[in-house]
A and B are shown apart, each in its own frame.
Chain A
């Protein structure tokens, strides 16, 4: 009996060890603070930074910003790796060989990054260096921290507004309310003899490029979550208001007509974007579209404006959606002190932020950078700086199931657009239930 049990026990022990090894990342080398940190950071060293930029102009902008850092910290050499996505970062952390710094284009994973410890808590370094986080607007702080834990800093922000094709607008002013937007969308739409859309005034489909629920929500002040992290979508009448408005406009176009038109449009990130091509008169988009239009070299006369808002909520006008690029120190980073110096420079030093913003044409995140005379501005870009600074500008707060929640709501809206939802209240209640169930599963 004993002779049989021993090998079994050994196998079980090995299996248990192996299974537990699956979950173990490299133990975190927490950044030192105070004098120790200064001493360590002062030693010659090379830090590796992974970022998601891949276009030549973007990569050069990043290299320029880092070159400016090098003049201040000559003993720190920075090795940049471009075009890295979240999956690769997570895999590297799990494998115990992460970069010293990692940057992500999406804020969707911030809660997971902070909760699981995938990214190191930056608060000890922030406090030791007396960095004033109030230089960041509250909305930016809310998407870069989770339950009081700050594991990433905002690198640059994206603000969303309305782009207007001057020729297609035909002298009409920018709409300020949803009613004005719907009326103008109908007025500016041109159809072919068979009823197909030739030029759309405004495409209300949630599947059209940047028309996501999170980007549309600020038009009605839609709230995503209650204080305990459960879904507020079903209980907030703002969403219902938005969806009813949107469905009325979708039905006016005809869902099948919208889909047929949408399928024939060019790629969002190419020069064939329908706004570039004069296929849509008004489009919701991020501030980066200004740079894309300029870089494409096309002669397009356009203006920008804040998104129209619900007729009964004029106070929201001027606000919009904000999110952005984030940057932090992964668990297991080998040079956390030097990494922090670079992150601090890139995210709080006005020079670094302005250099990046001018090159990438994204919104800088600190008040000082926003007011810097070196910040390149024109009327169209200024619209987004104003949206970013508006007190009612909104974001999608960090949530442990951010991706799932957006997927669930977007899927529901797609069904709603198609006319497959008969009872809106019941449908939204289902969305709440799905989100809350998943929250429970994830231990939120």
Chain B
């Protein structure tokens, strides 16, 4: 006991520290190379006019332009919409599906596979299929709705419906989140439910007082990764808008991202467009920093909220 409680000599501590550093070094090198350096470079470029080949210091001009760039503001608005509506919808749908799957007595394996399969479909293929399925003229979804007498919307052609359309696409592919929830739900000790049932707790009370606190780390993980994913939302929006618009690049033609009516223009798309289409990489760096700051702020906020929630439950 006495040996354990006495502090280690400085030389030993240094040796242990160095050894820990050695073991951590691959990770540290990765952080410095793939996070630290790009971050510093992004900050550096944000003060420059940078067309991918030449650099010119322009002070805060890129930042000033950000406040005048209407399309950047639209892109931020669309991205926040996805964070506010798509992420909770995804988490709730995945949790609900997982909860239902835990109740199945027979065929659980089959249904787990069925619900997981869409997440294996490549993003581009899945998005293209979705847009075709929901085509207002020839898509089977709208034809079926018309058969039922429902006047279906022009999903990816109507600015009011394009983001809900993307949300439905996201819900279709919740397989990964669902599997994580399923594992967490199956991990909750059964005797807790049995004890609660003996005490007269109904299903909702059991869910609120047992399930939620027990799976809260998984819930937090899903929410944080979901928010980060939504902030980086690119491929599906880009593909859906291109397919729905039905246009391709040809001489004298350039595709405007965000079809219809800028409603699917997300911040990462605009960032990419600024950097690699308009060759204003300095300004794209400003957008990247905005994205980074938003990711950081939202992640910290979520972590705080979840900590407060778990503390209350304790």
Contact = CB atoms under 8 A, between A and B. Distances in A.
B248 interface: yes
A132 interface: no
B200 to A, nearest CB: 56
A23 B56 CA distance: 11
B53 interface: yes
Given A264-B135, A410-B256, A434-B70, 20 more contacts: A19-B44, A22-B41, A94-B53, A106-B250, A115-B51, A116-B51, A209-B247, A212-B252, A268-B246, A268-B248, A286-B250, A286-B251, A323-B251, A395-B252, A406-B254, A407-B256, A407-B257, A414-B261, A438-B278, A443-B49
B156 to A, nearest CB: 9
Interface in B4-55: 37, 40-41, 44-45, 49-55
Contacts, number: 139
A401 B278 contact: yes
B254 A418 contact: no
Interface in A240-271: 259-265, 267-269
Nearest to A415: B261
Contacts of A170: none
B93 interface: no
B254 A108 contact: yes
A97 to B, nearest CB: 15
Interface string B52-69: 111110100110010010
Given A259-B154, A263-B135, A19 B246 contact: no
A48 B94 CA distance: 51
Contacts of B251: 105-107, 158, 286, 323-325
Nearest to A434: B70
A286 B253 CA distance: 12
Nearest to B41: A19
B137 interface: yes
Given A19-B40, A116-B53, A116-B54, A105 B278 contact: no
The 3 nearest A-B residue pairs measured at CB? A264-B137, A323-B251, A116-B53
Nearest to A85: B249
B261 A407 contact: no
Given A265-B246, A410-B256, A411-B262, A112 B136 contact: no
Interface string A318-334: 00010111000000000
B55 A260 contact: no
B157 interface: yes
A357 to B, nearest CB: 15
Contacts of A269: 248
A269 B247 CA distance: 10
28 contacts: A15-B37, A87-B276, A94-B53, A116-B54, A116-B279, A117-B53, A158-B250, A158-B252, A207-B247, A214-B253, A215-B252, A260-B137, A263-B154, A264-B138, A265-B246, A321-B252, A324-B251, A395-B252, A396-B252, A403-B254, A406-B254, A407-B257, A410-B254, A418-B261, A434-B70, A438-B278, A442-B278, A443-B58
Interface string A256-296: 00011111110111000000000000000010000000000
A22 B43 CA distance: 13
Interface string B124-142: 0000000000011110000
Given A210-B253, A403-B254, A441-B62, A90 B245 contact: no
A432 B135 CA distance: 35
Interface string A348-371: 000000000000000000000000
A443 B61 CA distance: 11
Contact residue range for chain A? 35 or more
B283 interface: yes
A407 B49 CA distance: 21
A430 to B, nearest CB: 8
B54 to A, nearest CB: 6
A160 B280 CA distance: 31
A118 interface: yes
Given A107-B251, A108-B254, A118 B53 contact: yes
B307 interface: no
Given A105-B251, A263-B135, A442 B154 contact: no
A437 B64 CA distance: 11
Nearest to A94: B52
Contact of A263 (B44, B52, B136): B136
Interface in A377-421: 395-396, 401-404, 406-407, 410-411, 414-415, 418, 420
Contacts of A401: 278
A55 interface: no
B181 to A, nearest CB: 37
A96 interface: no
Interface in B247-290: 247-254, 256-262, 273, 276-280, 283
A260 B151 CA distance: 13
Nearest to B55: A23
A18 interface: yes
A118 B244 CA distance: 34
B240 to A, nearest CB: 13
Nearest to B68: A437
A6 B107 CA distance: 67
A442 B245 contact: no
Contacts of A207: 245-247, 259
Contacts of B44: 19
Given A265-B246, A321-B252, A441-B283, A90 B49 contact: no
Given A260-B136, A263-B137, A441-B62, A90 B250 contact: no
A441 B278 CA distance: 11
A137 interface: no
Contacts of A264: 135-138
A94 B279 CA distance: 13
A269 B248 CA distance: 9
Contacts of B258: 411
B246 A267 contact: yes
A117 B250 CA distance: 24
Given A19-B40, A437-B65, A210 B250 contact: yes
A441 B61 contact: yes
A25 interface: yes
B283 to A, nearest CB: 6
Interface string A149-186: 00000000010100000000000000000000000000
Contact of B252 (A214, A261, A415, A438): A214
